Amino acid sequence: MRVLRFIAASLLAVSSAPGSALVITSDSLSILGDGNTGSSVVPIDFAQIGGDGSSISRAVAEFDISVFDEDTKVTLSFVVDEANGCCGQATFDGFFGLVQYEGDNLLEVADYQATSLGTIANLPISGATTSAGDRFELDVTQSFNFAVQQGHEAFGVILFHTPESTASQSWGFSNFALELEEANIAVPGPGSLGLLGLALCLLGFSRRKFA
């Protein structure tokens, strides 16, 4: 039963093999609102920030960190997907910000106004120097470790134009990823012990089948 052996080996690796670099990816969501409260999702496949002439768009991304312990270095990366937006907006020259929030592994409209747990960065961006495909990389070790210490299920990030405006100007981003240098698995709790037990059972079953 090679499949069973593979599943068991994978579960054992997740349960007991910390210390290896790991990249976690995330979907993103673009949300329209008035600058205070989100109202609707923008039906596009990239993370748009800025304005559309009447509303303010923010973007959110969440990374599942429920099984990880603190790490020595964590890097958040994403790329420029669209140099203007979904609907022919111009680009804006200035800054965009990123703040951290407590995620729950469910991207939704309410994340637009999620409580900020601290500023991650304020980054310059310009149509003259930035283009589609350009990559941003940020050291978010302190923010990640704070989320782990607080027992958060997910590491949440909100992106937005600073200062926000309804002017028809925007940027779009995609390929959100979180790289953990060590990817330390947290001390086994009931859930992790259950995975370990399941792995051992599967290994025992597969060995009996081959006996």
Per-domain boundaries in the chain: 20-185
For residue 175, which of 67, 80, 65 has the smallest C-alpha distance?
80
Question: Running along the chain, 211 residues long, what does each successive block of 10 average in pLDDT?
Answer: 37 46 95 97 92 95 97 97 75 97 98 98 95 96 98 98 96 97 77 52 46 48
Instruction: Specify the pLDDT at position 29.
Output: 96
16, 40 contact by CB (below 8 A) = no
Instruction: Specify the pLDDT at position 59.
Output: 97
Q: What CATH architecture does domain 20-185 belong to? A: Sandwich (2.60)
| pTM to 2 decimal places | 0.80
User: How many CB atoms neighbour CB 140 within 10 A?
Assistant: 24
